[in-house]
Structure 1
């Protein structure tokens, strides 16, 4: 295998790793978001809600955000969109750091 082909293969492998890593990190972030939201809404089914939310982004790019925003509003909890997005960013950074081990 030529050096150019090896380099292309290495780049493809790195891209695949990054995509898988982000998928797992977003799923974990969504689960944490679900636990937080369930606690905020005083839901007794926090673990089940978190599991549902863990896969919410699979079907739509903003699936978890839209679901939590709608659920918070229907529960009468005031949480501005910017605050919710900021919380999601912080949670994703924390999860990614934990997954990397530092």
Structure 2
């Protein structure tokens, strides 16, 4: 095997690891976002809502489905939050989730 082949394999492993970490960070972010929203809505038992938010992420690629779900639910329950505020919370929680995964938590 040449050094070029070794280098290519190394890039492939790094790409796979990065993709796995991104998936885990997004899943963790969605869970934390659902917990945050459930708290704002005053849900006594947020477990079912958390599962619904996590499930909404599989509807289509990207974050828009999760944003629509959480923002719509907040709006429907009378919580005064803008779509921009929910998006900012998503970004904030994604950064937290990435740090937690890097730290091995």
Same fold (TM over 0.5): yes
Off by >3 Å, runs of 4+ in structure 1: none
Using CA pairs below 8 Å that are at least 6 residues apart, which structure has the higher relative contact order? 2
Determine which of 47, 62, 72 is the counterpart of 2:74.
72
Gap runs ≥5 in structure 2: none
> Does structure 2 conserve the Cα–Cα contact (< 8 Å) formed by 1:30 and 1:55?
no
CA distance in 2, matches of 1:67, 1:53: 7
C-alpha RMSD of the superposition: 1.4
Gap runs ≥5 in structure 1: none
> Does structure 2 conserve the Cα–Cα contact (< 8 Å) formed by 1:30 and 1:56?
no
Could you say if the C-alpha distance between residues 55 and 9 of structure 1 is closer, same or farther in structure 2, counting changes exceeding 3 Å?
farther
CA distance in 1, matches of 2:67, 2:3: 44
CA distance in 2, matches of 1:36, 1:76: 15
Equivalent residue number for residue 42 of structure 1:
42
